[in-house]
Amino acid sequence: MPQDSAQLKALNVLKAEGENDDSAAIWRLTLFIDAVGENYQFEWEREWRHAGDLRFDPSAVAFLLFDEANHSAARKFFRDAELNNEGPDYPCLFIDAQWASPRRNVQAP
């Protein structure tokens, strides 16, 4: 929501009212709210939000977004995590969101 919107102003009032109350209802809502600033880049933020546990098989992941400079390190991190029983490996495509055309630059596992 835009910085100067009536909705954000109302949200800020509710946040101030719940400032010293961790159980205030406002804190159950803020997880789902973004305040948009002048330089807010939402293009990368096309996710669904889910409160609570979310379980899925790593093989169901189609791709992960990383800066290209981190692709090799991320691939190693996930492989090591699985080998050490510390987490899953994601044998999917790694894509850099800054690529002009990801289909030309996609790096398969």
**Same domain flag for 64 and 89:** yes
pLDDT, position 108? 56
pLDDT, position 28? 81
Give the residue among 100, 63, 36, 53 at the shortest CA–CA distance from 75: 63
Give the residue among 39, 81, 25, 33 at the shortest CA–CA distance from 58: 81
**Same domain flag for 76 and 100:** yes
Per-block average pLDDT, block size 10, for the chain (109 residues)? 76 88 84 65 67 87 90 95 95 85 54
Query: What residue numbers bound the domain in which 89 lies?
Result: 58-105
**Same domain flag for 95 and 66:** yes
**Same domain flag for 39 and 71:** no
Residue 90, class by beta-carbon neighbours within 10 Å (0-12 exposed, 13-18 middle, 19+ buried)? buried
